[in-house]
A and B are shown apart, each in its own frame.
Chain A
Amino acid sequence: MADSGVTDGFEKTDGIERAKSEGKELTKEEKQRLRKEKKQQKKNKEKKDDRASQESGREKQGVSSAASAPQPSAQSAAQKAPSAVPAPVPVAASEAPAPAPAPADKPAKSKAELKAERRARQDAERASKHGKKGDPGQPGAAGKPKAPTSELQPVVKRLPEHIQVDNPDVLKKLAKKLERQQTPGQNSAKKIPLRLDYGYKVSLFSHLHQYSRKAPLTQQLSIPSTVIHPAIVRLGLQYSQGIVAGSNARSVALLHAFRQVIRDYTTPPNEELSRDLVNRLKPYISFLNQCRPLSASMGNAIKYIKKEISNIPSQCKEEEAKSKLLHCIEWYIKEKIILAAKAIAESSIEKISDGDVILIYGCSSLVNHILCEAFEKSRKFRVIVVDSRPRLEGREALRRLVQRGISCTYVLISAVSYILPEVSKVFLGAHALLANGYVMSRVGTSQIALVAKAFNVPVLVCCETYKFCERVQTDSFVSNELDDPDDLIVTRNGRTQLENWQQEPSLGLLNLVYDVTPPDFVDLVITELGMIPCTSVPVVLRVKNVDQ
Chain B
Amino acid sequence: MNEEELVEYFRAQVGKDPDMASAVAAIRTLLEFLKRDKGETILGLRESLTWATACLKGVDSSVAVSSGGELFLRFISLTSLEHQDLSRCKKVMEERGELFLEKISMSRNKVAKLCHTFIKDGAKILTHSYSRVVLRVLEKAAAEKKRFSVYVTESQPDAAGRQMAETLKKLNVPVTVVLDAAVGYVLEKVDLVIVGAEGVVESGGIINKIGTYQMALCSKAHNKPFYVVAESFKFVRLYPLNQQDVPDKFKVRRPFSLFDGFPSPHSDVLTGACFPSQYKADTLKSVKNLSEEHPIIDYTPPSLITLLFTDLGVLTPSAVSDELIKLYL
- On A, residues with C-beta under 8 Å from B are 351, 353, 425, 458, 460, 520, 523-524, 530-533, 535-536, 539, 543
B239–A531 CB distance below 8 A: yes
Residues of B within 8 A of A530 (CB): 202, 237
The chain B residue with its CB closest to the CB of A351 is B241
Residues of A within 8 A of B245 (CB): 351
Most chain A CB within a 10 A radius of its CB, from B237, B241, B242, B245 = B241
Residues of A within 8 A of B302 (CB): 533
B322 close to chain A: CB less than 8 A? yes
Instruction: Identify 7 residue pairs between A and B in the complex whose beta-carbon atoms are under 8 Å apart, listed by A's number.
Output: A351-B245, A460-B241, A520-B303, A533-B203, A536-B321, A539-B321, A543-B329
In the bound assembly, the distance between CA atoms of A523 and B299 in angstroms comes to 14
The chain A residue with its CB closest to the CB of B316 is A535
Residues of A within 8 A of B181 (CB): none
Q: A351-B245, A533-B202 are in contact. List 19 more A-B contacts (CB 8 A).
A: A425-B241, A460-B241, A523-B203, A523-B241, A524-B203, A524-B239, A530-B202, A530-B237, A531-B202, A532-B202, A532-B321, A532-B325, A533-B302, A533-B318, A533-B321, A535-B318, A536-B321, A539-B325, A543-B329
A536–B325 CB distance below 8 A: yes
The chain A residue with its CB closest to the CB of B203 is A533
In the bound assembly, the distance between CA atoms of A531 and B239 in angstroms comes to 7
Chain B window 235-246, contacts with chain A (Cβ cutoff 8 Å), 1 for yes, 0 for no: 001010110110
A539–B241 CB distance below 8 A: no
Residues of B within 8 A of A353 (CB): 244
In the bound assembly, the distance between CA atoms of A535 and B316 in angstroms comes to 11
In the bound assembly, the distance between CA atoms of A32 and B321 in angstroms comes to 57
B69 close to chain A: CB less than 8 A? no
A524–B318 CB distance below 8 A: no
Residues of B within 8 A of A425 (CB): 241
B204 close to chain A: CB less than 8 A? yes
Interface of A is mostly: mixed
Given A531-B202, A532-B202, A535-B318, A543:B241 Cβ within 8 A: no
Interface size on B, residues (CB 8 A): 16
Given A531-B202, A535-B318, A524:B241 Cβ within 8 A: yes
Cβ-closest 8 pairs across A and B: A535-B318, A458-B241, A536-B321, A531-B239, A539-B322, A533-B203, A533-B321, A532-B321
The chain B residue with its CB closest to the CB of A519 is B318
The chain A residue with its CB closest to the CB of B322 is A539
A535–B321 CB distance below 8 A: yes
The chain A residue with its CB closest to the CB of B241 is A458
Interchain nearest-CB distance for A425 vs B (Å): 7
Residues of B within 8 A of A533 (CB): 202-204, 302, 318, 321
In the bound assembly, the distance between CA atoms of A532 and B239 in angstroms comes to 8
In the bound assembly, the distance between CA atoms of A533 and B241 in angstroms comes to 11
In the bound assembly, the distance between CA atoms of A541 and B245 in angstroms comes to 28
Interchain nearest-CB distance for A370 vs B (Å): 15
In the bound assembly, the distance between CA atoms of A531 and B201 in angstroms comes to 11
The chain B residue with its CB closest to the CB of A540 is B325
In the bound assembly, the distance between CA atoms of A531 and B321 in angstroms comes to 10
Interchain nearest-CB distance for B304 vs A (Å): 13
Residues of B within 8 A of A351 (CB): 241, 245
In the bound assembly, the distance between CA atoms of A543 and B325 in angstroms comes to 9
Residues of A within 8 A of B237 (CB): 530
In the bound assembly, the distance between CA atoms of A353 and B242 in angstroms comes to 13
- On B, residues with C-beta under 8 Å from A are 202-204, 237, 239, 241-242, 244-245, 302-303, 318, 321-322, 325, 329
Interchain nearest-CB distance for A204 vs B (Å): 32
Residues of A within 8 A of B239 (CB): 524, 531
Interchain nearest-CB distance for B320 vs A (Å): 9
In the bound assembly, the distance between CA atoms of A458 and B302 in angstroms comes to 14
In the bound assembly, the distance between CA atoms of A458 and B241 in angstroms comes to 6
In the bound assembly, the distance between CA atoms of A150 and B325 in angstroms comes to 39
Residues of A within 8 A of B241 (CB): 351, 425, 458, 460, 523-524
A536–B242 CB distance below 8 A: no
B242–A458 CB distance below 8 A: yes
Residues of A within 8 A of B203 (CB): 523-524, 533
Interchain nearest-CB distance for A527 vs B (Å): 12
In the bound assembly, the distance between CA atoms of A523 and B302 in angstroms comes to 10
In the bound assembly, the distance between CA atoms of A85 and B237 in angstroms comes to 54
Residues of A within 8 A of B202 (CB): 530-533
Residues of A within 8 A of B325 (CB): 532, 536, 539, 543
In the bound assembly, the distance between CA atoms of A460 and B329 in angstroms comes to 23
Interchain nearest-CB distance for B230 vs A (Å): 17
Residues of B within 8 A of A523 (CB): 203, 241
In the bound assembly, the distance between CA atoms of A516 and B242 in angstroms comes to 25
Interchain nearest-CB distance for B271 vs A (Å): 33
In the bound assembly, the distance between CA atoms of A539 and B241 in angstroms comes to 21
Most chain A CB within a 10 A radius of its CB, from B204, B237, B242, B302 = B242
The chain A residue with its CB closest to the CB of B328 is A530
The chain B residue with its CB closest to the CB of A534 is B318
In the bound assembly, the distance between CA atoms of A539 and B203 in angstroms comes to 14
In the bound assembly, the distance between CA atoms of A277 and B3 in angstroms comes to 64
In the bound assembly, the distance between CA atoms of A520 and B241 in angstroms comes to 14
In the bound assembly, the distance between CA atoms of A460 and B240 in angstroms comes to 12
B329–A536 CB distance below 8 A: no
Interchain nearest-CB distance for B27 vs A (Å): 24
In the bound assembly, the distance between CA atoms of A425 and B245 in angstroms comes to 12
Interchain nearest-CB distance for A350 vs B (Å): 9
The chain A residue with its CB closest to the CB of B202 is A531
In the bound assembly, the distance between CA atoms of A533 and B204 in angstroms comes to 9
Interchain nearest-CB distance for B29 vs A (Å): 29
Residues of B within 8 A of A458 (CB): 241-242
In the bound assembly, the distance between CA atoms of A535 and B202 in angstroms comes to 12
The chain B residue with its CB closest to the CB of A538 is B322
Residues of A within 8 A of B318 (CB): 533, 535-536
In the bound assembly, the distance between CA atoms of A533 and B303 in angstroms comes to 12
In the bound assembly, the distance between CA atoms of A353 and B245 in angstroms comes to 9
Residues of A within 8 A of B322 (CB): 536, 539
Interchain nearest-CB distance for B135 vs A (Å): 30
The chain A residue with its CB closest to the CB of B321 is A536
In the bound assembly, the distance between CA atoms of A425 and B241 in angstroms comes to 9
Interchain nearest-CB distance for B236 vs A (Å): 13
Interchain nearest-CB distance for B301 vs A (Å): 8
Most chain A CB within a 10 A radius of its CB, from B239, B242, B244 = B239
Interchain nearest-CB distance for A468 vs B (Å): 14
In the bound assembly, the distance between CA atoms of A531 and B329 in angstroms comes to 13
Interchain nearest-CB distance for B153 vs A (Å): 25
In the bound assembly, the distance between CA atoms of A458 and B203 in angstroms comes to 13
Interchain nearest-CB distance for B63 vs A (Å): 17
Interchain nearest-CB distance for B67 vs A (Å): 16
In the bound assembly, the distance between CA atoms of A351 and B203 in angstroms comes to 14
In the bound assembly, the distance between CA atoms of A543 and B318 in angstroms comes to 16
The chain A residue with its CB closest to the CB of B204 is A533
In the bound assembly, the distance between CA atoms of A523 and B303 in angstroms comes to 10
In the bound assembly, the distance between CA atoms of A539 and B327 in angstroms comes to 13
In the bound assembly, the distance between CA atoms of A531 and B238 in angstroms comes to 9
In the bound assembly, the distance between CA atoms of A472 and B92 in angstroms comes to 46
Residues of A within 8 A of B244 (CB): 353
Interchain nearest-CB distance for A428 vs B (Å): 14
In the bound assembly, the distance between CA atoms of A535 and B302 in angstroms comes to 12
In the bound assembly, the distance between CA atoms of A342 and B321 in angstroms comes to 23
Interchain nearest-CB distance for A262 vs B (Å): 34
Residues of B within 8 A of A536 (CB): 318, 321-322, 325
The chain A residue with its CB closest to the CB of B329 is A543
The chain B residue with its CB closest to the CB of A531 is B239
Interchain nearest-CB distance for B249 vs A (Å): 14
The chain B residue with its CB closest to the CB of A425 is B241
In the bound assembly, the distance between CA atoms of A293 and B192 in angstroms comes to 52
Interchain nearest-CB distance for A525 vs B (Å): 10
